[in-house]
Amino acid sequence: MKKTVLFLILSLVMMGCNDKKKETVSEDKIQKIQRKDIVAGAPTDCENNPIMKSLRSMSHSEREKWLNKYGEAICMYDLYSCIENIHFIHDTVFRRLARQHSRNTTGIKLYELPWKDLESFIKKEGIKCYDAYIAFDIDAENNKVSLRKTPFSTTEATYSIPLFEGIKKVHGNIQTIYVTDAVVGKKVISKERIIFKVKDASGNFFHYDISDDPAIMNM
């Protein structure tokens, strides 16, 4: 498998060298670039990484198939922080998405889970890289959240192991994860999803969104 992935990477590098097209720099992309200077451990060159550039050029379905077959490359070449950077959002965006959900109209309801419980669940289920994803199931009546191993889905919020690895790599000692309901989407299409934020040992919070498009959101 490693030889196959290595050959794939070499091919992507060649594609990157031949790619002379100009990319449109969106507002979201500018946010990611600015963030590199203010968050310790944030990725340094995700914009020009051949794997990430190739993934950005693929369609939604192509990315899903690629990750199912070659997702090991993300982990093998330690691109965790790039995945973290993709899903990072500012707290104002987090609050806006959360407040659009009917459960959060008078205040954002957060459901707490120790980070160590997440890590224990991943270890227990034996999930590695893109073998499977994690879904959060909220029990609003009992004020609880549980974890579920699941394939990638476009009908619910699913999070990859590389995302959690990226959060840990960028921010270090994460203590707690807080999830909440949200309404996400663009233009006239909106969907109920789950978003989350994490707290580190110093009490700092970092916020994340979800995409129906695997691995790629705001790059």
pTM, rounded to two decimals: 0.78
pLDDT of the chain along its 219 residues, tens only? 555 544 454 444 434 444 444 333 344 443 444 444 345 555 557 888 888 888 888 887 888 888 888 889 999 988 998 899 888 989 999 999 999 999 999 999 999 999 999 999 999 999 999 999 999 999 999 999 999 999 988 888 899 999 999 999 999 899 999 999 998 865 545 688 899 999 999 999 999 986 555 655 444
**Alpha-carbon separation of residue 174 from 8, 44, 195 (angstroms):** 33, 21, 17
What string of DSSP letters covers 55-69?
HHHS-HHHHHHHHHH
Strand partners, 191: 184
